[in-house]
Amino acid sequence: MNKILYFTNTFPKYRKELWKLLILSKKLDFHFYFSKKVFKGIEAVEIEKNFSLSELNHFHFIKNKIINNSIFWQKGKIMTLLKNNYSKVIFLGDMKIISNWIGIIICRLRGKQVYFWTHGLYGNELGLKKLFRLFFLSLADGILLYENKAKNRLIQNGFLKTKLHVVYNSINLLDQTSVFKKLYKKKNKFYRKDIRNLLFVGRLTELKKVDLIIKALSRLNLSEINYNLKIVGNGEEKQNLQNLVSKLNAKQYIKFLDGTYDENKLGLLFLEADMLVSPGNVGLNAIHALSYGTPVLTHNNFINQMPEHEVIIENFNGIFHRENDISSIIKNLNKWFSNLNSMNTRLKIRKKLIEKYNPKFQVRIFEKVLS
Per-residue confidence of the chain (371 residues) as pLDDT tens digits? Answer: 899 999 999 999 999 999 999 999 999 999 999 998 877 778 888 899 999 999 999 999 999 998 877 778 999 999 999 999 999 999 999 999 999 999 999 999 999 999 999 999 988 888 999 999 999 999 999 999 999 999 999 999 999 999 999 999 999 999 999 999 998 877 655 555 678 999 999 999 999 999 999 999 999 998 787 899 999 999 999 999 999 999 999 999 999 999 999 999 999 999 999 999 999 999 999 999 999 999 999 999 999 999 999 999 999 999 999 999 999 999 999 999 887 555 668 889 999 999 999 999 999 999 999 99
Residues 6+ positions from 254 with CB-CB distance below 8 Å: 214, 217, 228, 229, 230, 231, 245
Ranges in the chain annotated CATH 3.40.50.2000: 2-168+356-370, 173-353
What was the pLDDT predicted at 341? 54
Give the whole-angstrom CA distance, residue 12 versus residue 262.
Answer: 14
Output the DSSP codes for 129-193: HHHHHHHHHHTSSEEEES-HHHHHHHHHTT--GGGEEE------HHHHHHHHHHHHTTGGGT--S
- Strand-pair partners of 318: 296, 314
Q: Report H helices in the chain.
A: 16-24, 47-50, 53-56, 77-83, 98-110, 127-138, 148-156, 173-184, 210-220, 238-247, 263-272, 284-290, 326-336, 343-353, 359-370
What was the pLDDT predicted at 72? 85
What was the pLDDT predicted at 68? 78
Give the whole-angstrom CA distance, residue 328 versus residue 204.
Answer: 22
CATH code, residues 173-353: 3.40.50.2000
What was the pLDDT predicted at 294? 94
**Secondary structure tally for the chain: helices H, strands E:** 15, 15
- Determine the distance from the C-alpha atom of residue 177 to the mean position of all C-alpha atoms in its chain, rounded to a whole number: 18
- pTM for the full predicted model: 0.91
- Show contacts of 176-184: CB within 8 Å, 24+ apart: 176/263, 176/267, 176/288, 176/291, 176/292, 179/263, 179/264, 179/267, 180/267, 180/271, 180/291, 180/292, 180/350, 182/267, 183/267, 183/268, 183/271, 184/271
What was the pLDDT predicted at 191? 54
Question: Which amino acid, 328?
Answer: S
Q: Which of 279, 302, 296 is nearest to 215 (CA)?
A: 279
What was the pLDDT predicted at 120? 93
Q: Which of 238, 233, 226 is nearest to 197 (CA)?
A: 226
What was the pLDDT predicted at 193? 61
CATH code, residues 2-168+356-370: 3.40.50.2000
